[in-house]
Amino acid sequence: MLMPLPQVLILGAGGFLSPVLRRHLEAHGANVAAMGRDALDLTAPDAGPRLAEQIGSRDVVVMAAALTPDKGKNAATLMANLSMAEAVSRALEQGRPAQFIYISSDGVYDARFSSLLNEESTCEPADLYSLMHVGRERILAQSCRQAGIPFLVVRPCAIYGPGDTHNSYGPNRFIRSALEDGKITLFGNGEERRHHVLVDDVSELIRLCIAHETTGVLNAVTGRAVSFGELAEKICRLSGRKIIVEKRPRASPPTHRHFDTSALARAFPAFRATSLDDGLQKMLAQLSSANSAAPKQETELCPQ
Phi then psi for residue 272, to 5 deg, are: -130, 120
List, for residues 74-97, the tens digit of each pLDDT value: 999 999 999 999 999 999 999 999
Q: Across all residues in the chain, what is the average pLDDT? A: 90
Mean pLDDT for the stretch of residues 103-122: 86
Bridge partner list, 187: 248
List, for residues 5-29, the tens digit of each pLDDT value: 779 999 999 889 999 999 999 999 9
pLDDT tier at 2, thresholds 50, 70, 90: low
pLDDT tier at 291, thresholds 50, 70, 90: low
pLDDT tier at 296, thresholds 50, 70, 90: very low
For 116, residues 6+ apart whose C-beta sits below 8 A from its C-beta are 258, 259, 260
- Judge whether residue 198 has pLDDT over 90: yes
Torsion angle of the four alpha carbons 94, 14, 221, 274, in this order, in degrees rounded to the nearest 10: 130
Q: How many CB atoms lie within 10 A of CB 80?
A: 17
- Judge whether residue 167 has pLDDT over 50: yes
Q: Element (H or E) spanning 180, and its range?
A: helix 171-181
Asked whether the whole model's pTM tops 0.85, one would answer: yes
What are the structural domains, with CATH classification, of the chain?
A: 7-159+197-220 (3.40.50.720)
What does the alpha-carbon distance between residue 301 and residue 244 come to, in Å, rounded to a whole number? 10
Torsion angle of the four alpha carbons 143, 95, 16, 26, in this order, in degrees rounded to the nearest 10: 130
Q: How do 60-63 and 7-11 pair as beta strands?
A: parallel
What does the alpha-carbon distance between residue 87 and residue 93 come to, in Å, rounded to a whole number? 10
Residue type, 183: K
